[in-house]
Amino acid sequence: MKTKALADVVKKFGDVTPGRSAYYEQAASVAGPEWAANTAAAAPTYKAAVGDPTIDKRYAGGVKKAGADKFNRKVKDVGVARFGPGVTASLPDYQNGMAPMLETLSATNLPARAPRGSDSNLERVRTIAKALHTKRLAIKAAG
């Protein structure tokens, strides 16, 4: 099969694709219902994939293939510029995610504090961890 030169393909991608953000916005901004239905329907496939006995090796291979240099480059070239706007855009989601956790913490009765270093202080940590874990499972409909 005859293909175009890699340099030509990459150049066209770099020249043309950034100008297509309006197409992306138009299609992607209304794709939520389709995404949700298809993603939920894929739950058995997800379970099979993560349960595959070789998944850890494939995962590690993907990390090795990408490499630390790519990670660092993407942080500098993409992540830094998107960080602030991403945080700002996430505020409503952050609020919705934190509200039930803070409510759970507010309603949690902790055992009395003991002197610093006392093993009984670990019960306070255990109580908090259990309350938050139970709430997380309830939210995820897994508990």
pLDDT in tens, 17-42: 999 999 999 999 999 999 999 999 99
Residue 107 burial class via C-beta count within 10 angstroms: exposed 0-12, middle 13-18, buried 19 and up: exposed
Dig out the tokens for 73 from the structure: 């480059």
**Where are the domains positioned within the chain?**
46-94, 108-143
Would the pTM count as exceeding 0.75? no
pLDDT in tens, 62-117: 999 999 999 999 999 999 999 999 999 999 999 999 999 999 999 999 999 999 99
The confidence score (pLDDT) of residue 142 equals 62
Q: What is each CA distance from 47 to 56, 89, 125, in whole angstroms? A: 14, 31, 32
The confidence score (pLDDT) of residue 141 equals 81
Looking at the chain, the whole-number percentage of residues with pLDDT higher than 70 is: 99
**Three-class SS of residue 54?**
coil
Residue 143 has pLDDT above 70, yes or no: no
